[in-house]
């Protein structure tokens, strides 16, 4: 005659095993989550400074001599609405954190000189501060240097002959 085996719960030696596994894996999961959030915010910061460089280069393609306004356009791409549902992780108006460089090739006018088209290049540099603990020890820095470069052909004014 076969005896039916009785299914019983965990033995005394296995009690609390799930709690120990959770305690070991939870910090790793939190660090992965923080790393993912930090990486996403760094990418978003890069997109913001890229848009700023593009805006400055676009304005500079029509007014290459007005460097003050080119930098102002690059720094003021974010709407100034305090009730907005979005935010920009980069404070573009902070001249200590965000560096805007403007460079023109050849002449500051429309046309081709020295065999190449005149162009304007706007470079925006920003050091993204990491929020994830221990990441600075892994990469060797507490910030991630981000650089965005936008280049446009100068469309106005026409070169003086």
The string of pLDDT tens digits covering residues 111-155 is: 777 777 889 999 999 999 988 877 777 778 889 999 999 999 998
Contact 123, 148 (CB under 8 A): yes
The answer, yes or no, to whether residue 46 has pLDDT greater than 90, is yes
Q: Which of 63, 48, 60, 43 is nearest to 151 (CA)?
A: 60
The reported pLDDT for the residue numbered 67 is: 94
pTM: predicted TM-score of the whole model, two decimal places: 0.80
Segment 35-59 shows an average pLDDT of: 93
Contact 57, 122 (CB under 8 A): yes
How many Å from the N-terminal Cα to the C-terminal Cα in the chain? 112
Q: Which long-range contacts (C-beta less than 8 Å, at least 24 apart) are formed by 43-47?
A: 44/89, 45/89, 45/90, 45/126, 45/128, 45/146, 46/128, 46/146, 46/148
Q: Exposed, middle or buried by CB within 10 Å (0-12, 13-18, 19+), for 81?
A: exposed
- pLDDT of 16 over the 90 cut: no
- Tell me: the pLDDT tens digits for 53-99? 999 999 999 999 999 999 999 999 876 666 666 677 888 989 999 99
Domain ranges of the chain: 22-79+90-153
Q: What are 127's strand-pairing partners?
A: 145
pLDDT given for residue 80 in this prediction? 63
Neighbours of 132 (CB within 10 A): 17
Percent of the chain with pLDDT over 70: 84
* Three-state DSSP class for residue 48: helix
């Amino acid at each position: 005659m076969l005896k039916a085996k009785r299914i019983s719960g965990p033995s005394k030696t296995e009690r609390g095993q799930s709690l120990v596994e959770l305690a070991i894996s939870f910090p790793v999961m939190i660090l992965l989550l923080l790393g993912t959030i930090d990486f996403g915010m760094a990418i978003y910061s890069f997109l913001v400074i890229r848009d700023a460089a593009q805006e400055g280069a676009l304005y500079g393609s029509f007014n290459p001599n007005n460097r003050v306004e080119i930098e102002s356009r690059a720094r003021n791409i974010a709407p100034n609405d305090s009730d907005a549902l979005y935010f920009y992780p980069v404070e573009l108006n902070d001249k200590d954190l965000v560096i805007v460089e403007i460079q023109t090739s050849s002449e500051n006018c429309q046309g081709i000189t020295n065999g190449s088209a005149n162009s304007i290049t706007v470079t925006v540099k920003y050091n993204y501060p990491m929020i994830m603990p221990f990441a600075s020890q892994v990469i060797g820095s507490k910030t991630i240097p981000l650089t965005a470069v936008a280049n446009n052909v100068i469309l106005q004014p026409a070169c003086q002959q």
